[in-house]
Structure 1
């Protein structure tokens, strides 16, 4: 399956062949799954990246052009690729391999009063939330908490957001977050 010009340019930025393989796999998977939901050919899907902070295109969370109501999020680490797809609202997913680095950046991860022994799990939960909101790392992880969820920039968001840990192989942690646009009734992770 052919990648778009933008996807090929981003693919070329990866130095390691394994990283290129994960990136290619993630985008082929996204095209396959999203095209099945939309009933169109995978090659016909168009994506745009728009930054929530500055409004510019070319960077930010990827989204389907003319793909409403479908939203998606991609993450890859080690030999694993995750794709989350939602038709109830924005979605974010993250997978990360365990690393000693998490202990080194604890102050950047922990929010006010947040005492988390498992910084690895806290990181993926916060990253999933930041991907779902579309803010990415433009919002410091230390500015909000997960348990209980607090989001100072938009306090009602905490009542709407659904967050779940995902079962992944040992040595990895993963989470998915969804912000339903309407009462969803039931979310299945």
Structure 2
């Protein structure tokens, strides 16, 4: 069901795990979008053209008969996540909880206030706490399309002990317009989906890829997870 461009892109990956993650994400995106649009997976109009260089490795877009279905993809270790929504721009991030020391990551990824919050956690909980803050930052920056071109320490999010929320960032979009919803990708992982919408509430329905046929696609936003 994949396009020739997608298969060509998959062939460029040197590491087999990276190639398989890309193929899985492409399949999951087409399968889920097909159920949303009511078309065969191979007919889903997926566009991945990079805005900087024009090559097919940018943020995916789906435009069908003038209507845009906002989508986002993330993968880490043995997880691949795809999120879709007609409600507004969105970003999804899934991350394996790091097992190595995170001191260097903390210094470049967290603001001074966030670093203080992290130090309030016991040592054995800091890796998970860091991952939960990190997925918030990645999700909101993927929703805008900026990605890590904006330094993550300039994006402030709430404590992992609190409801996920964007507190501040260097963009003109008011932080309260960004809705954050935690995902459950399983033990050893953290996940988050961010939706930039107006003031109306967004409901997120999370499903495993094996349950695609039973997803309630009438909901305004959904996130699908495959292991």
Q: Would you say same fold, with TM above 0.5? A: yes
- By how many angstroms is 1:112 displaced? 5.0
1:37 alignment counterpart: 36
Say if 2:5 is the partner of 1:6.
yes
* Deviation readout 1:119-176 (Å, 9 max, x if unpaired): 22211111111111111111110112012520222151x0110012211222111111
Residue of structure 1 in register with 2:208 after alignment: none
Aligned-partner Cα distance in 1 for 2:50–2:13: 21
Whether the aligned pair in 1 keeps the contact of 2:63 and 2:69 (CA below 8 Å) is no
Aligned length: 184
| C-alpha RMSD of matched pairs (Å) | 2.1
**Displacement, 1:6?**
2.9
TM-score (norm 2): 0.72
Residues 32/155 of structure 1: CA separation in 2 closer, same or farther (3 Å cut) = closer
Check 1:19–1:101 CA distance in 2 against 1; reply closer, same or farther (3 A cut). farther
Residue 51 of structure 1: how far off its partner (Å): 4.8
User: Where does residue 70 of structure 1 map in the other structure?
Assistant: 69
Structure 2 residue runs without a partner (length 5+): 119-128, 159-165, 206-227
Shift of 1:49: 2.9
- TM-score w.r.t. structure 1 length? 0.85
- Deviating beyond 4 angstroms after TM superposition, the runs of 4 or more aligned structure 1 residues are none
1:152 paired with 2:175, answer no
Task: Answer with 1 or 2: which has the greater Rg.
Answer: 2
Q: Distance in 2 between matches of 1:82 and 1:101?
A: 25
Aligned residue for 1:105, secondary structure, equals helix
Cα drift, residue 101 of structure 1: 5.8
Alignment of 1:108-119 (within 5 A): 108-115=108-115, 116-117=117-118, 118-119=129-130
